[in-house]
Structure 1
C-alpha cells in the first residue's frame, strides 16, 4: 500500500512540475509547431497514415507522437481548433510515466527510498521540466526508454543472482522498444544495445540475454511497427524510408544537420544546465559508483546505461541538448543508490581527478543557478522594459535550489532531495508559466494571429506572409497560410482583393505598393506588429495589409 502511495504521489508531483505554462506559453519555434501542425492536418484531413506540414511531406520522425497527439485532440473535443496545451499534454504524461518508471526501477534495484529519490530527480531536472512542456517526441520517448531499461535491469539483476525472472518483464521490454521505434526510430534499441554491449564486454557472459526471449520479442516489435511502416512506404512510394533513414538519421551521423553540427564536449558543457539542479549530486554518486564498479552488478548496469550512450552522442556531429535525455535516468538511479549506504561509505574520499571533476561540476551548478536567476530578473527588463515582481520569487527559488543542491557531502538525504526538487519546481512554474509568456516582443506569431483575427474582412480570409515564415504562424493562423515572398504576397492580394490579407516587413511596403500600382491597386496597412524573431534573433517590424477598398 505504501509503495502504491509513493507512485501516486510521484506521478502527481511530476504533473504539478510541468503543468504551469502548458497553456500560457505560445508555440515554441521551430520544432514544436512542426509537430503539432502535422497532427492538426491529420485531424483536418482524416489521414492518420501520412505526415505533412502544409503540402510538404514531414518524414523525419515516425507516426507515434502524431497518433498520441491526435488522441489528445480527440479527447479534448475541440478538433482542429484545439489549443497548444492539448498537444502538450502528451509530453506532460510522458514525463510523468518516465518518473514512475524510474521510481519502479529504483525500488526494484535499491529499495523504496532510492526509488522515490530517483523519481524526484527525474521530475525536477531542467531537461524534463522543459520537455514536459514541449509537444515533441522526446518526453514520450523517455518514458519508453525508462520502461525498456527498467525491465532490462531487472532481468539482468535476477539472472546474475540466479533468481527467477518475472514473466512480464520481457513483455515490457519489447513493447517499450516497439512503441519507442514508432515514436522516434532506433533510439531506445540503441540505448539498450549499448548497455548490453558494455555489460558483455565487462563480464564476457551473455547467457542472461536468453531471458529476453529474443525471437518472440523481435516478432512483437515487428507486429507493432510493420503495419504503419508498410502503409507509409507504399503511400509515399518509398520516400519515407529515404528521408527518415537516408537523410535524417544517417545525415546526422555523418555530418551536422540543420545547423546543429558541434564538436565533442557539447553535452559535457551543457550537463550542468540540463541536469540542474541535481547535476552535482549525480556526479558525486556516479564517481562513487565508478569506484565500486566491480563489486555491484547494479552499479555496473546504471553506468552502462549512462556512459556509452553519452559518449556515442558526443561523437555524432549533430547535437541538440535533448538527444542525451534517455541517459539521465541512469544517473538518477545512482543518486538513489547512494542513499542506501552508510554515511562513511557514501562520503568516502574521491581520487584526485574525481575531485577535479566534482569541483568543475560544482562551478557549473553555481553558474547555472545564478544564470537562471538572472534570466528571471533580466529578461522582462531587457525585452519589455518593465520589472516583473514575479521575478523575485522565481530568482529566489532558483538560487535556493542551487544552494540546497551544493552539498559538500556526496550523500544527500531524501528530505533534502525533496526540498531541492520543490524549489526547482517553483522556479520552473514561475519561469515557464508567468515570466516567459509575458515577454511579448518575442512572441510574434501570437501577435500576428491576434491582428489577423481583429482585422480580417471575411471569415474565409487567408494570410500570405513574406520573410516571416515560422511554423508557429501556420499553426496559429491556419493551415492555408501562405509562406512566400513580396511577389507572392502581391499575387495573393490580387487573387482575392476583397478578403485576402498580406504580411510583410514595413521596410518592403514601398516595393509592395509599387508592384500593386501596376495593377491599379494600393495596399492599406491595417496594423503594425513589432518584435523579435527569437528563432533567428532578427528584430522585425511587420505590416498587415489588404487591398484598399
Structure 2
C-alpha cells in the first residue's frame, strides 16, 4: 500500500484548522499523545460518574455482590443476597471491593452505597483501553494516525457508556486490546527480531486479567484471530514469538488459585452455572430476554461507534481491496470472526462487540492515511470531494446528537415536565460541531471531519451524563425510594418491596431488603414489630389494600414515587407505607 494523505492547510480562525494543529502538536511525542488521550478520556468519562443512578439490572447486581464481599469478608464466593452469583469470575468484584475499601479508608460517607466508587475500575479500564488502543495502533500507523484512531475509539458512545457502569466490559476491553497489541507485533514482525519484554507482558497480562474478569473471552478473541491468520500463513509458527510455554505458566500462576478455591468452595457448582447455564444459555437462546436477530450489531453500530461509525462504514471497500496485506488481514481477523460469532448467537447486547472497535478505528484511519476517502477530483488547489453516497453516509454524524437531544428533551418533558436547560447549551454545541464535521467531509477535509466529530463527542458526553441526566428524576426511582427510607424518624428501619424488585433497590436499601410476593405477606412484614417500611407497586396495590384493611394494621402512607423503569421500559408508580412505633 502506498500512503497518500490529503490534508487541507489550516486557515486562520478556522476551528477545524486549529484542531489539526492540536493533533500535530500532540503527535510530536508519545508523552504528548498520551496526555491528550488521557484528557479526552477524562472529559468523556468523568461527568456523571457519581451522579448517575445505579443502572438496572446488571450494574447493581455486580455492585451488590461486591458490597456483600465487604460485608461478609468472603472474597472467594460471589453472592447476590442469599443467591449464588456464579456467572462471571471474581476479577471485577475484587476490583470494586478494593475501591470501596479505599473509599472507606479515606472517609467517604456511605461508601458501600456510593455507586461512583464501584465504577472506578470501569473508569480505569476505559482509560486504559483508550491508551492501549494507541499502543496497538502504533503497530500499523505513524504516531499521528495512531493518536487519531485511539481518539476515535475513546470518544465512541459505547466506551463512554461502559466507563460509567460498574460491570466487566470496560476492563475486558482493556485486556483484549493489550493482548491484541502484542499479537499484532508478533504477526507483523514475524521472522524479525524477538518481541521485547514489555510486549510479552502486555499480551499475557491482558490474557490473565481478562480470564479473571470474564472467563474465556480474551482467549476466544485472540484465538479466533490467531487461527485465521495461521491458516492464511499456512503455519502457526509465528505464535512462538509470544513464548507460549512461559506465558501459559505465567497466566496459570495468576488465575489458578481463585479457580481452584471456587471449585472447592462451591463443590464445582460455579462451573456448572457459569458454563452450563450462563454461557451455553446465551448460545442456545435469548438469555434474559436479550434475543435479537443476526445483523443487530451491524445496525446499532452506527450509534454505538458514533462519531466514527460512518467513516468506518466507508472504509469497508478499502478493507476488501487490501485484505491481502498483512496489516489489513490482521485487523480483519480481529474483527470479522468474533463479530460473525456474536451475530450468530441469539443473545445480543451492544457491548459484546466493544473489544472489536479499536480494530475498526485503526482500519478506518488506515484507509484515511492511504487516501481512500479522497473520491473524485475537486477543483485545482483544493482537496478531492467525496462522492455523494459517502456524504449521505456521513450525514449520520450530526443525526445521532440531534436525535439524542430531541429524545432527552422529549423524555424530560413527558415524565418530569421540565426542560433540561443545564445540558442544552452543550447538547446544541455538540450538534453544531457534528454539522461542521459533515460540512468538512463534504469539502474533502476528512481528517478535519473526524476531529470535529471527536470534539462533538467530548461535548455530548458531559452534556448528557453530567448535566442532563441529573435533571431526569423519572429515571431515579430507586434513589427516590431510598430517600423515603432515609427520611423516616427512626433509625435502621426494616424495608420490603412488593412488585418492584430491581437490583438497584437492593443495592441502595441493603442486603436484607425483603421481597414478599403478595399483599398479605407484605402486611405481615409490616406487622412484625419495630420500625418498618414497605414499597408497593401500583399493580400490587389492590391486593395490598385488601390485606391491610382485613388486618386492621395502622400502616400510614409516607410517600409516593412515579418514574420510568429502564429495565422494564415502562412507567412505574409506587406508594410507601410505614409502621413507626
TM bin, normalised by shorter chain, reads over 0.9
Q: List alignment gaps of at least 5 residues for structure 2.
A: 1-27, 377-385
Deviation for aligned residue 1:80: 5.0
Deviation for aligned residue 1:446: 0.8
Matches within 5 A, 1:82-481: 82-159=113-190, 162-294=192-324, 296-341=325-370, 343=371, 347=374, 361-362=393-394, 364-365=396-397, 367-406=399-438, 407-408=441-442, 412-413=446-447, 415-455=448-488, 457-481=489-513
Classify the secondary structure of the residue corresponding to 1:539: strand
Deviation for aligned residue 1:389: 2.2
Deviation for aligned residue 1:326: 0.7
Deviation for aligned residue 1:409: 7.4
Classify the secondary structure of the residue corresponding to 2:487: helix
Classify the secondary structure of the residue corresponding to 1:168: helix
Q: List alignment gaps of at least 5 residues for structure 1.
A: none
Contact (CA 8 Å) 1:108, 1:154: kept in 2 or not? yes
**Does 2:544 align with 1:515?**
no
* Separation (CA, whole Å) in 1 of partners of 2:55 and 2:552: 40
* Separation (CA, whole Å) in 1 of partners of 2:235 and 2:287: 38
* Separation (CA, whole Å) in 2 of partners of 1:409 and 1:251: 50
* Root-mean-square deviation over aligned CA pairs: 2.4
Q: 1:480 to 1:357 in 2, by over 3 A?
A: farther
1:370-426 CA-partner distances (Å, limit 9, x unpaired):
32232233222222222222353243234235334432478732x543332121111
Contact (CA 8 Å) 1:377, 1:395: kept in 2 or not? no
Contact (CA 8 Å) 1:103, 1:118: kept in 2 or not? yes
Name 1:9's counterpart in structure 2.
36
* Separation (CA, whole Å) in 1 of partners of 2:444 and 2:174: 28
Deviation for aligned residue 1:367: 4.3
Deviation for aligned residue 1:478: 1.5
Contact (CA 8 Å) 1:40, 1:80: kept in 2 or not? no
* Separation (CA, whole Å) in 1 of partners of 2:313 and 2:133: 18
Q: 1:507 to 1:134 in 2, by over 3 A?
A: closer
Contact (CA 8 Å) 1:14, 1:99: kept in 2 or not? yes
1:125-181 CA-partner distances (Å, limit 9, x unpaired):
010111111110000000000000011101111115x34322332232121111101
The number of equivalent residue pairs is 539
Contact (CA 8 Å) 1:374, 1:395: kept in 2 or not? no
Contact (CA 8 Å) 1:397, 1:424: kept in 2 or not? no
Deviation for aligned residue 1:537: 2.9
* Separation (CA, whole Å) in 2 of partners of 1:303 and 1:105: 15
1:172-221 CA-partner distances (Å, limit 9, x unpaired):
21211111011011111111111112212323232211112222222222
Classify the secondary structure of the residue corresponding to 1:503: strand
Contact (CA 8 Å) 1:25, 1:436: kept in 2 or not? yes
* Separation (CA, whole Å) in 1 of partners of 2:163 and 2:274: 25
1:13-56 CA-partner distances (Å, limit 9, x unpaired):
21221100111111111110101111111111111111111111
Deviation for aligned residue 1:531: 2.0
Contact (CA 8 Å) 1:109, 1:154: kept in 2 or not? no
* Separation (CA, whole Å) in 1 of partners of 2:136 and 2:122: 21
* Separation (CA, whole Å) in 2 of partners of 1:36 and 1:86: 9
Classify the secondary structure of the residue corresponding to 1:282: helix
Residue range with higher mean Cα deviation, 308-317 or 200-209: 200-209
Contact (CA 8 Å) 1:107, 1:115: kept in 2 or not? yes
Residue 85 (structure 2) aligned to one of 24, 38, 58? 58
